[in-house]
Amino acid sequence: MTLTDTQASPIARTGSRRTVLMCRPDHFTVSYRINPWMHPEDPTDTSLAVRQWETLHQAYLELGFDVQLIEPIAGLPDMVYAANGGFVLDGVAYGAKFTHPERAAEGPAYMEWFAQAGYEVRVPEHVNEGEGDFLLAGDVVLAGSGFRSTTDSQDELAAVFGREVIGLELVNPSYYHLDTALAVLDPEPEADAEPTIAYLPSAFSDASLEVLRMRFPNAIIVSEADAAVLGLNCFSDGSTVVIASRALGFAEQLRERGYTPVGVDLSELLLGGGGVKCCTLELRR
């Protein structure tokens, strides 16, 4: 048996310092149901959510990230999922416009934060849930639709940033945001290099799967079991990948590719249908 290249010599990866926005889950609970993970009849433990979130916050600080914080607002229990607050690139913040009225007030709250932090804010015309559905992969933006962000918002996004936007249709309600079904592992790939991505094939329509296979032939294919603990909802600096601690198979796949997985347990925030990436909005000047 011959070893494949990746097994014989994992690539030495270097991480880069990320700047992210997070929101403490001081008001986290599950009081409504807008995705299949949410069961308002079941109890939640806000202080446990805060403690778990703090381990994620601490992991980012230890990686040397610049972590910015937005003040949580009472009555907006999902505000902890900062990824949905917008999409920020080249110093421009394209605001979110939420699908469900329960989260509507988060859009303006995040836009206000972007403005005071010095980002040029673009108020959205079309429904979109920010980095929950928009992921930068090298020069292009991968954009999920099907449950939340509309395809119209993809055109708006392309116009705002002048980037190619690749639309991907999601088909499984449990993977309602793109960042629950796909992860970009190289935030700053070398020019012309294919960024490494990981995804769950069954979360996408046949046509979108074909697009993924064509554009990302070297992608990591993640198992149903790892996706079901929101393993794909991870955050990478290009070397270290902060990931759900229960996604053991995916962690091993990452190691084979030269990444260093760091597990965190966000079980309480999983009750709202979110994980590591959901709690993290990348800020790019």
Chain residues that interact with ligand ARG, rule: CB under 6 A: 34-35, 38, 78, 81, 83-84, 103, 132, 177, 179-180, 272-274, 278
Which is closer to ligand ARG, CB of 13 or CB of 50? Answer: 50
230 within 8 A of 270, measured Cβ to Cβ: yes
Which is closer to ligand ARG, CB of 81 or CB of 161? Answer: 81
84 within 8 A of 103, measured Cβ to Cβ: yes
Which is closer to ligand ARG, CB of 263 or CB of 274? Answer: 274
Min dist. Cβ of residue 274 to ligand ARG (A): 3
Kindly state the DSSP code that residue 160 receives in the 8-state scheme.
H
Tokens representing 158 are: 């392309």
CA distances from 58 to 35, 249, 284 (A): 28, 24, 21
Helix, strand, coil fractions of the chain, as percent rounded to 5: 35, 20, 45
Which is closer to ligand ARG, CB of 13 or CB of 244? Answer: 244
The CA distance from 178 to 196, in Å, is 16
Tokens representing 46 are: 């806000």
Taking Cα atoms as reference points, which of 97, 126, 101 lies closest to residue 109? 97
Which is closer to ligand ARG, CB of 87 or CB of 259? Answer: 87
Min dist. Cβ of residue 126 to ligand ARG (A): 17
Min dist. Cβ of residue 12 to ligand ARG (A): 31
278 is catalytic: yes
Catalytic choice (23, 57, 234, 278) = 278
Min dist. Cβ of residue 127 to ligand ARG (A): 12
What are the E-state strand segments in 126-209? 134-137, 140-145, 165-169, 182-184, 197-199
Residue 184 region by backbone torsions, left for phi larger than 0, else alpha for psi between -120 and 50, else beta: beta
100 is catalytic: no
Catalytic choice (57, 177, 234, 279) = 177
The CA distance from 261 to 241, in Å, is 5
Min dist. Cβ of residue 150 to ligand ARG (A): 15
Task: Report the catalytic residues.
Answer: 177, 278
